[in-house]
Amino acid sequence: MLLSLVGFAQNRSKVDYFASNALGNPVTGNAGECYNGVTYVSYQGPLEDPYVAAYHHKTKTWVGPFKAGTSLMGKNKSRRTDNHGKPTLVIDSKGYIHIVFGGHSGTPDLGENPLGNYHYGKQIHIVTKNPLDISSWQEVDNISPFGTYSQFIKMDKGDLYLFYRHGAHRSNWVYQLSKDDGLTFSDPVSIIKTKQTTGTKENPVICDSWYLHFSKGKNNDIIATYNYHVCKGPHHDGERHNVYYMRFDTNRNECYNVRNQKLILPVTKEEADTMTLIKNTEERWTHNGIARLDKFGNPHVTSYEGDYEDKKHGGIKTLQHYYWTGQEWKSNNKTRLPEGARGEMLINSNNQIKLLLGDTSRKKGDVAWWVSDDNGNSFKKDKVLLKSKKGKFLLSNFIRNAHPDAKIIVAEKKGNQFVKMYLLGDNGPIYRSKKESEAVKE
């Protein structure tokens, strides 16, 4: 009886989240990596500063979270949480951990921005003082301060690519390359271009603008899916349309479309429409999903689409799946996936498509696998990894070099309160003592 009571008390002292101090929409795409049996995860914490924790799989123990740096954003209590400076994480070949965070396009006092305009914050690069030690960090001044939507991609040979938008809406998307483990980075190279286009009486100034999501492709390739933002002035809103795809060959420093036709860089709206368009959504609005490759090297792309029903959310509801047959793009609009669900995609060796989605279409949200055995024509709900009674779930991309027990970072958002963070694997969340999960180290 006594042993049973002790076991019951121990179970009650553990929780399924590893931290409870995240803020806003706290997690971005490439926010974690598994290195030498340890999974390192990053997220946005109090005052929009970056936090990092680590899970040791052999000993089943946690370290952190530690505050890793200080953002220029989030310090004005009268201003709402910005969410653009969420940390992206990568580990170099020597074991030093790099994080870029804090940027929403920078401000004029940081200097001239030749590739775009200004808004808020500063893109900051920090590195651990010692390999694999998340308790101490230092800032390094070797990237542009004018970034936002920062995304680290690591290549097989160790090169580090940092992609981001070089300023506010009317700015080029660029990359900076490091071949020496992040000690130095190249100057920004424009990959897609913003430019003024035809205006209207209501909005005399309209610019071509973009949102891009990058992923590691096959061999030396980086793949990207993107959409087009109609950047209006003075009556600006979040209008975005269409679905695009391209491939960046890092050996040649050149971009290609799905037919292996070379693109002119930086890509313009005209070039994008002619060479890289998957779907012209016309009046329907879009948000970016992700691009992944099947066993034949053919890309599959997800996109979130909907009718313009309200200005706050743009009517973005339904997840669409597109795939390249080798000759054309195809899709099926009757997948019957839950409205509002978002997440990741995995295509296994049998060409089975699996979506890991945060579903909030019902009162009780969950994170679950949805599986298709017919190339995305239909999906069936499979294993549920996490449930919530009142909150909604926000998912990172799959963790780089992921351990089976820790594949993705998940945030549970409930209203305006601080957010709980989870680390999910094949068997659900990794547990931690409640005392540790609610402790914050700075």
Active site residues: 84, 149
How many Cβ atoms sit within 10 Å of the Cβ of residue 398?
Answer: 21
SS3 label, residue 319: strand
CB 96 within 8 A of CB 127: yes
- For 370-431, give the secondary structure using H, E and C: EEECCCCCCCEEEEEEEECCCCEEEEEEEEEEEECCEEEEEEEECCCCCEEEEEEECCEECC
Tokens 């603008």 sit on residue: 209
Separation in Å, CA 124 to CA 113, 144, 171: 16, 8, 18
In 3D space, the residue among 240, 339, 246, 318 whose CA is nearest the CA of residue 281 turns out to be 240
What is the helix (H) or strand (E) element at residue 269, kind and residue range? helix 269-275
| CA distance linking residue 329 with residue 343, whole number of Å | 21
44: left (phi over 0), alpha (psi -120 to 50) or beta: beta
CB 372 within 8 A of CB 378: yes
CA 271 to chain centre: 25
Question: What's the burial of 331, exposed, middle or buried (CB within 10 Å: 0-12/13-18/19+)?
Answer: middle
Name residue 233's beta-bridge partners. 205
SS3 label, residue 439: coil
CB 266 within 8 A of CB 191: yes
DSSP assignment string, 82-149 = --TT--EEEE-TTS-EEEEEEEEB--GGG---TTS---EEEEEEEEESSTT-TT-EEEE--S-SS-EE
